[in-house]
């Protein structure tokens, strides 16, 4: 077996890391081992290797320099939540929100699949840092993989290579991630997490969320466990900076389920009138946020990622021009279609596809040309709206936390929680229609607390308690809000225009944070009146804005009762404070609802 030892990258490294690599090599039996240094030369070598093997296809280098296309196996195009396990010694520590298997049984099951799986392949050792390399909020890991496609993506999505390895050597600890594409058999596919061991094992998939172990696996499932133990939060949230005409920038963290507009909001372009007045929007991150209380009592946040792994469909000049500009060069596209002249294509772009995401001549009878969950992987620095504060070691201070999901009715455009406890309940109760980012039915309403249902690495009841624990003397906590861009009218059309006009809602949110904006108090929280929002230049009928801001107490009664039933599913782990808050709001709704609704609620 040919070996390229870590000593060739730096003079010494962790004995435990070398020993682990040796153990994995004995199990998986690769033909070669390569320690990744993250260099340009290494990246070029891997790209040439994948082009020669057919793992990548070069796109039109005149229109999209440095861009390539990767096609997944048709059975391997999304996260597989039913095969994603959290393996803790005590089943209740994983909670009903996770699929569970005992660690000993889990290791035995997946190690049997790893046995000899890298024969004929190269084992790549990928040291990486989640977050700025010099930030005390960052955490390091090492992924072992047999996929050069994974290596290429990890180079974009993390701080990967020699600098990360040096930090690992200094700190002496890291998250261990073992991955192999295996034989891509869906019946031999698992993504297993061992939070008590700070380790991950994934086999049988090459798809991003299952294979890029620094992303959802480390930065959310394992990091959420670490965060609880260490007093911080690892969240499925974007981070965006909003600069007002006075030059003040407020940073907002927002949680939405996958494919529900996180990247669009993170790269928002203000409406023309706002731009003319001097408003600017800065992108810190589009998917993951790590927050920790600072010495001043505020929550300070970093984006642990260095790139975007964004959903391509829905990204267009009309919806997200910044994202479209970002992916014009040095981008890895996955499962998109291509045009006759070799440009990447998906529904919503001009032109026409000639080859679909599976490499077949495009035929509408076969479905969409680009897979609904097709992706782009690109450095965040390429975004026109990228904020240099994304590299700030101390992070950025968070003024507001926003929760949101796809709700076609009932939930108003925006409301503010009464206090932190109420805000935690708002996040815990969040519901959304499912999207194509995960396997299974699309358009089904499910509870997705804090948009973390697929990603929380431990019992949701304990997770809610951890959120509540930040409300302590001296804390200067962000205000918490809920938004719903997706409310529909009787005709089935969206009532709110969304996209850039969402800044109108964010302006009200920041006004509330500064104590300037007005609102009316309702049982579910503070809701703006039509005159409290800046609607100048927006052609929106009065009836539409009235419906968007309506709070139907009678309609909310069964919703709040269902929230109580949902909280009860976590049993004794559900914090009493949260259940008390749910009962308080239920009583306020009953008092506000018409008598027939109160009687029906019982």
Q: Which residues contribute to the annotated binding site for Mn(2+)?
A: 216, 236, 287
Q: CB under 8 Å to 220, separation ≥6 — which residues? A: 234, 235, 236, 288, 452, 455, 456, 457
Spatial separation of the C-alpha atoms in residues 496 and 213, rounded to whole Å = 37
Spatial separation of the C-alpha atoms in residues 78 and 456, rounded to whole Å = 18
CB 404 within 8 A of CB 255: yes
Spatial separation of the C-alpha atoms in residues 371 and 393, rounded to whole Å = 37
CB 370 within 8 A of CB 346: yes
Spatial separation of the C-alpha atoms in residues 499 and 436, rounded to whole Å = 20
Active site residue 87: no
* Residue 362 per-residue DSSP state: P
Tell me the CA distances in angstroms from 86 to 107, 143, 186, one per residue in order: 12, 18, 19
**H runs (alpha helix) in 204-254:** 208-211, 223-230
Kindly tell me the sign of the dihedral angle through the C-alpha atoms of 501, 506, 511, 517. positive
Spatial separation of the C-alpha atoms in residues 426 and 301, rounded to whole Å = 21
Spatial separation of the C-alpha atoms in residues 88 and 102, rounded to whole Å = 6
List residues bridging with 582 in a β-sheet.
none
Ramachandran region of residue 92, left (φ > 0), alpha (ψ -120 to 50) or beta?
Answer: alpha
Q: Which helix (H) or strand (E) holds 338?
A: strand 337-338
Ramachandran region of residue 26, left (φ > 0), alpha (ψ -120 to 50) or beta?
Answer: alpha
| DSSP assignment string, 537-588 | T----HHHHHHHT---HHHHHHHHHHHHHHHHTTGGGS-HHHHHHHHHHHHH
State the catalytic residue, choosing from 117, 260, 289, 456: 260
* Residue 418 per-residue DSSP state: S
CA-based R_g, the chain, Å: 24
Task: Mark the binding-site residues for substrate, compressed into ranges.
Answer: 79, 207-209, 258, 373-375
Tell me the CA distances in angstroms from 142 to 81, 162, 212, 304, 543, one per residue in order: 23, 12, 11, 15, 55
Spatial separation of the C-alpha atoms in residues 281 and 574, rounded to whole Å = 38
CB 295 within 8 A of CB 272: no
Q: CB under 8 Å to 388, separation ≥6 — which residues? A: none
| DSSP assignment string, 56-97 | SEE--TTTSTT-EEE---TT-SSB-GGGEEE--SSHHHH-TT
Spatial separation of the C-alpha atoms in residues 126 and 144, rounded to whole Å = 6
Task: Mark the binding-site residues, compressed into ranges.
Answer: 79, 207-209, 216, 236, 258-264, 287, 373-375, 406, 499-502
Spatial separation of the C-alpha atoms in residues 61 and 476, rounded to whole Å = 50
Task: Mark the binding-site residues for GTP, compressed into ranges.
Answer: 259-264, 375, 406, 499-502
**Residues known to be catalytic:** 260
């Amino acid at each position: 077996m040919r070996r390229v030892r870590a000593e060739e990258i730096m003079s010494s490294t962790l004995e435990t890391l070398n020993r682990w690599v040796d153990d994995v090599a004995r199990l998986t039996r690769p033909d070669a081992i390569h320690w990744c240094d993250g260099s340009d030369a290494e990246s070029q070598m891997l790209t040439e290797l994948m082009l020669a093997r057919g793992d990548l296809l070069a796109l039109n280098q005149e229109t999209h320099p440095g861009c390539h296309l990767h096609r997944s196996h048709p059975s391997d195009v999304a996260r597989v939540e039913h095969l994603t396990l959290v393996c803790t010694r005590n089943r209740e520590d994983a909670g009903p929100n996770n699929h569970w298997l005992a660690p000993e049984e889990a290791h035995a099951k997946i190690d049997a699949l790893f046995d000899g799986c890298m024969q004929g392949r190269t084992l790549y050792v990928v040291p990486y840092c989640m977050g700025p390399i010099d930030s005390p909020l960052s955490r390091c890991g090492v992924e072992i993989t047999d996929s050069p496609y994974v290596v290429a993506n990890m180079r974009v999505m993390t701080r990967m290579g020699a600098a990360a390895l040096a930090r690992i050597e200094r700190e002496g600890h890291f998250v261990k991630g073992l991955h192999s594409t295996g034989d891509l058999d869906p019946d031999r596919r698992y993504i297993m997490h061992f939070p008590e061991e700070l380790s991950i094992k994934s086999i049988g998939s090459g798809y991003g969320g299952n294979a890029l172990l620094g992303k959802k696996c480390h930065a959310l499932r394992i990091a959420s466990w670490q965060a609880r133990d260490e007093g911080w939060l690892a969240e499925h949230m974007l981070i965006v900076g909003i600069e007002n005409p006075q030059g003040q920038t407020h940073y907002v963290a927002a949680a939405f389920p996958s494919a529900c507009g996180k990247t669009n909001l993170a790269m928002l372009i203000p409406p023309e009138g706002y731009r003319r007045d001097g408003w600017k929007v800065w992108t810190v991150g589009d998917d993951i946020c790590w927050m920790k209380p600072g010495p001043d009592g505020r929550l300070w946040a970093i984006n642990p990622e260095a790139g975007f792994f964004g959903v391509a469909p829905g990204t267009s000049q009309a919806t997200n021009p910044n994202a479209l500009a970002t992916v014009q060069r040095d981008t890895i596209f996955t499962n998109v279609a291509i045009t006759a002249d070799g440009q990447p294509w998906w529904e919503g772009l001009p032109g026409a596809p000639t080859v679909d995401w599976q490499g077949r001549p495009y035929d509408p009878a076969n479905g969409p040309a680009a897979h609904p969950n097709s992706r782009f992987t690109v450095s965040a620095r390429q975004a026109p709206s990228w904020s240099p504060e994304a590299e700030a070691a101390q992070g950025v201070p968070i003024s507001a936390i926003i929760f949101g999901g796809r709700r076609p009715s009932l939930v108003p455009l925006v409301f503010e929680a009464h206090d932190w406890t109420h805000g935690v309940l708002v996040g815990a109760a969040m519901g959304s229609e499912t999207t194509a980012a995960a396997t299974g039915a699309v358009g089904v309403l499910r509870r997705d607390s804090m948009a973390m249902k697929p990603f929380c690495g431990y019992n949701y009841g304990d997770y809610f308690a951890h959120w509540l624990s930040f409300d302590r003397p001296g804390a200067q906590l962000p205000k918490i809000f809920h938004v719903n861009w997706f409310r529909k009218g009787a005709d089935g059309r969206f009532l709110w225009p969304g996209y850039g006009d969402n800044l109108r809602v964010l302006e009200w949110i920041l006004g509330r944070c500064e104590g300037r904006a007005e609102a009316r108090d309702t049982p579910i929280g503070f809701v703006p009146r039509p005159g409290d929002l800046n609607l100048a230049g927006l052609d929106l009928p009065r009836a539409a804005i009235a419906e968007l801001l309506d709070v139907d107490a009678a309609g909310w009664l069964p919703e709040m009762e269902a929230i109580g039933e949902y909280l009860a599913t976590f049993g004794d782990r559900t914090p009493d404070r949260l259940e008390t808050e749910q009962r308080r709001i239920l009583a306020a709704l009953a008092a506000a609802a018409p008598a027939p609704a109160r009687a029906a609620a019982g």
